[in-house]
Amino acid sequence: MITVIDYGMGNLRSVVKAVEKYTSDVRVSSDPGSIGDSRGLIMPGDGAFGMAMRHLREMGWLAPLLDYIRGGGFFMGICLGYQLLFSSSEEFGHHEGMGVIPGRVMRFPSGELKVPHMGWNSVELRNRSGFLEGVPDGSHFYFIHSYYPEVSDRSWVLGEVNYGVSFPCIVGRDNVVATQFHPEKSWKVGLRIVENFVGAVCS
């Protein structure tokens, strides 16, 4: 069973529809107890970092999620669900994150480029990963975000993009993969990442 985590931060239907292309064994759950019989977890999300962390704590997701990830469970983070993996964020003040990946989330610097970073952008792959099998270097993905991560441990970085600054937009290690862009909205190349994740979970 692949569980899409509902912690009150965004519309989850597009993610579920993407997963359903490759397996019917998927559900949406707001119950942290559902982690127990899940073979894979997907955490999407839209909105503010601080509010999202508060929801994870108040709904009882945070500790079980960390135990699951540190125990080697398959996990995919998308957009805000990607940013929450980092140590902290400066969005509307300082907020502690999940701390899975050492680094901080910062706002794009002011300049000529519009914020949010919205639309298609090309991604340069930096490290090999089974989650990126069949994804060509330089592929375009769909982004919409105003904050980006600075990663302290480069071994986590699978792909980078440039929008005024160069920053990691795909991270991963072992059974974890996460993307700043929306793979479910990035046509065939984005869906390939979802397919690879489902294949790993269901193998």
pLDDT tens digits for 72-128? 999 999 999 999 999 999 999 999 999 999 999 999 988 888 999 999 999 999 999
Give kind and range of the element (H or E) at residue 196. helix 187-202
| pLDDT at residue 36 is higher than 90 | yes
The predicted pLDDT at position 64 comes to 97
The predicted pLDDT at position 79 comes to 97
Domain count of the fold of the chain: 1
- Per-residue pLDDT of 121-162, as tens digits, reads 999 999 999 999 999 999 999 999 999 999 999 999 999 999
Q: Is 96 a catalytic residue?
A: no
Options 55, 79, 117, 169, the catalytic residue: 79
Joined tokens for residue 128: 């090999």
| pLDDT at residue 11 is higher than 90 | no
| pLDDT at residue 63 is higher than 90 | yes
Q: For helices 49-58 and 62-70, what crossing angle results, to 10°?
A: 90
Options 55, 117, 184, 195, the catalytic residue: 184
| pLDDT at residue 201 is higher than 90 | yes
Q: Is 184 a catalytic residue?
A: yes
The predicted pLDDT at position 10 comes to 84
Q: What CATH number is attached to the domain comprising 27? A: 3.40.50.880
Options 55, 95, 182, 195, the catalytic residue: 182
166-175: burial string, b at 16+ Cβ within 10 Å, e else: ebbbbbbeeb
Q: Is 145 a catalytic residue?
A: no
The predicted pLDDT at position 139 comes to 98
What residue numbers bound the domain in which 192 lies?
Answer: 2-202
